[in-house]
Structure 1
């Protein structure tokens, strides 16, 4: 009887062992390609008319494109910290740019490692010293416009493994300084209607587009490499950490700053050529990866899995998107908070009596903000240019936009009588969320009063 019982026990043990092995084999290899400073609108799949991104478009044809994907904060360090922790800036400790999560907060990549994944990273994945401190199984910095695909291929050739892999590929493009090359004719580039149209602006835009196309070619090489290496057992994800370094984009909570591309492809699991209007945040990405790979998701995260969206089970995820910005050294001392629904956005500027200013208007470098000299000149000569110029520097305490009727957020409806009930609701929701987050509305460095001079590089260097 005992022998018979032991045989049954052994049978069930072997069955469980083989079942576990089968589950492990089904875990997909994951490649996550991250660009640096790319607004959603600057990609063909999102309707760009000039800049060409054939490989982003090719990836979209293989999987799902998210129309409403957002970051947590429009600056590199807090955005990437939110991605890797699944927590918003006030909770993970990385609020201002060049600040990092509290060291006792675990990264979600470690949860994937616990689930059997080898996590390797190339280029700008986290921010600054956080790359080396992120406990990746392997990390290699790659310079801007470096050979990312070559580095990935070399590593995979030299380090065979039976474990599933998460490969994080961080392209520095199209972060400034933009390339000196111009694959696009400045006369033919398209500018947002809230830009001051100058020759210098067009030249910089052509250089920005050239960097995007260069990045897209690198993306294509990594896509082909991953396809050859992993076949259909591959989940390929593409996104950007926030909008480009342009006026009203990076360091702002307007759509051009917080709305980013997100594309995901996984043969046999995600419908090819599909699109979704589900609102998702960067804090949701790693909980989703944990969910898709059978890992445990910590219960205290701000992020939550949108795996049901990827599987085509639903076309909704979040009702509200919250975003924050707290500053970037002495260049950018203008904290902002916002809440967005599928149609409306409410913005709270914490220092309305001070100038909004950032790197682009202060660091007027060739390949970055040099075009600002032409904006300043145009503002002195043209009333329409002057209005754009002043709107950039001076903001009201509250802003409210109907994104369906006004997608570029040009008509502030904060005093609109017909919208006061919605405004009141969003104002209260934002305040309640800030309290729940423990947001102390910290001011980093000294702000620039609107009654004084606008900040300059000379002032900052004093």
Structure 2
């Protein structure tokens, strides 16, 4: 079905306007772009050399790039809840992917609506219930699918032919084009990619499967110098990544080679994901992937664990970065559209991810930890009317700050119970003072990937974490001397004063945000594993 025709009959907007025409004309439009699991290492503006993202990079060149943006809880749905509410997980209630999100609570989109903005949510939200605060919503179900996905459009389920990243971009541009031009707009443009199981668009598969990627220096990390949590996490590329769903080895080949499933849904993921393709799409896919798998089959019996790890890392990067390429394409289309329609000067475009992601560092994939690759997220913001181009900021901003910042730009009063801060005056140069520590919590254990529950703070130089529930362990890192976080110095005598200072800072920060040991216990599961 034609996407423009579909959308033209799928939404309508009835919204009262609050404020004068003069105020209305000055208020910026907002395009908030969130990808899923997009590590900052895979944005070329950050300088890691893995891939090229020229359109995302453009946001930093024409605005500001944040080098130390972080999340409060490195997990998909909780991160989205923090974005919407401007509150920590233990306040908004969405502590993990399983907890229900209360859409009846306030969120920044509702506040924009009440103040005359048109609002839309398009793409992945990963939370049950009909989204509130949006005149139009077209959201994926749960994790969504890469090919010919199902969307719930204003409450009605529809399957749409095409590639999910392109469709999400199509819908976003179509909604902007059909908006009421007398009112400012805010659209949350949320991509599924690059979430597993990493199926790139057909136009990218030949290029990205042909590339070889530089291995991170910690790919073969042995986790010495850290505690139980790092040693017991189940996100190791060789040991825990799925062979069929993630690496695209056909289930029949797994059986032939005697390769066992790690997760019970491994083969089903392969069959379901590729089974959504049309015969023409599948033929193009197989033409590229069949020779890769035939080569693997021929060599598998003679491959050592080291060779298998390296092979799996390359397969992971080829597909993961291939999905990022389509996300970057979409950002380019959006920026071109805004310019062609004379919207670029008065539209805030913010690009980020729901959290960071391991791209082989420490031998891992996935996220969840407070270690840097998971804690940090890409953040680039363009707004020519106010933000000078070419800026870089190392301020400790968080996703907690997105809601108050966007409300600030829109001229909407920031509720006192929002826990984040607007960084508007930080990037326009009016203020230099900013927070000196960020606070983090993680609750989803026991669960997939077995990352233990923990909380902690990160300052400019140090990081203190407490792992609890079935352990009681502390870790302290000197990020200046040990940026890869390989050596826990919590019990090192040279860091006794740092440890004491960080404990005080942690206690003060927990009190500031209203967290406590009582909360830790309140969110514990009823039984231990």
Alignment of 1:171-320 (within 5 A): 171-179=191-199, 181=205, 183-184=207-208, 188-196=212-220, 197-229=309-341, 230-244=343-357, 247=364, 250-320=367-437
Alignment of 1:288-367 (within 5 A): 288-327=405-444, 330-331=447-448, 332=450, 334-351=452-469, 353=471
Any idea what SS the aligned residue of 1:128 has? coil
Equivalent of 1:141 in 139, 147, 155 = 139
> In the TM superposition, what is the alpha-carbon distance from 1:187 to its structure 2 partner?
6.7
Partners of 2:334 and 2:494 lie apart in 1 by 50
> In the TM superposition, what is the alpha-carbon distance from 1:216 to its structure 2 partner?
0.9
Partners of 2:73 and 2:499 lie apart in 1 by 22
Is the CA contact (8 Å cut-off) linking 1:333 and 1:446 kept in structure 2?
no
Any idea what SS the aligned residue of 1:278 has? coil
Q: Deviations over 1:140-179 (max 9, x none)?
A: 1254334222112322334433110001100111100112
Is the CA contact (8 Å cut-off) linking 1:120 and 1:168 kept in structure 2?
yes
Is the CA contact (8 Å cut-off) linking 2:41 and 2:50 kept in structure 1?
no
> In the TM superposition, what is the alpha-carbon distance from 1:301 to its structure 2 partner?
1.6
Q: Deviations over 1:419-444 (max 9, x none)?
A: 11121222233244445225521323
> In the TM superposition, what is the alpha-carbon distance from 1:326 to its structure 2 partner?
0.3
Partners of 1:27 and 1:431 lie apart in 2 by 40
Structure 2 CA distance for partners of 1:101 and 1:214, relative to 1, 3 Å: same
> In the TM superposition, what is the alpha-carbon distance from 1:264 to its structure 2 partner?
0.7
Q: Deviations over 1:189-214 (max 9, x none)?
A: 13332223521122112211111122
Alignment of 1:41-80 (within 5 A): 41-80=41-80
Partners of 2:138 and 2:103 lie apart in 1 by 22
Matched, 1:170 2:190: yes
Matched, 1:437 2:518: no
Is the CA contact (8 Å cut-off) linking 1:82 and 1:282 kept in structure 2?
yes
Partners of 1:423 and 1:184 lie apart in 2 by 45
Q: Deviations over 1:314-359 (max 9, x none)?
A: 3442211001110067324621111000111011111464xxxxxx
> In the TM superposition, what is the alpha-carbon distance from 1:65 to its structure 2 partner?
0.6
Q: Deviations over 1:206-264 (max 9, x none)?
A: 21111112211111112222232313111111100002266275111111111011111
1:416 aligns with: 492
Partners of 1:248 and 1:348 lie apart in 2 by 22
Structure 2 CA distance for partners of 1:329 and 1:176, relative to 1, 3 Å: farther
Is the CA contact (8 Å cut-off) linking 2:166 and 2:326 kept in structure 1?
no
Gaps (5+ residues) in structure 2?
Answer: 1-18, 141-148, 150-163, 221-308
> In the TM superposition, what is the alpha-carbon distance from 1:182 to its structure 2 partner?
5.8
Partners of 1:39 and 1:447 lie apart in 2 by 32
1:82 aligns with: 82
2:236 aligns with: none
2:127 aligns with: 128
Matched, 1:110 2:88: no
Partners of 1:333 and 1:204 lie apart in 2 by 21
Any idea what SS the aligned residue of 1:98 has? coil
Equivalent of 2:478 in 402, 405, 409 = 402
Structure 2 CA distance for partners of 1:434 and 1:249, relative to 1, 3 Å: farther
Is the CA contact (8 Å cut-off) linking 1:186 and 1:205 kept in structure 2?
no
Gaps (5+ residues) in structure 1?
Answer: 1-18, 354-395, 449-462
Is the CA contact (8 Å cut-off) linking 1:121 and 1:168 kept in structure 2?
yes
Is the CA contact (8 Å cut-off) linking 1:175 and 1:244 kept in structure 2?
no
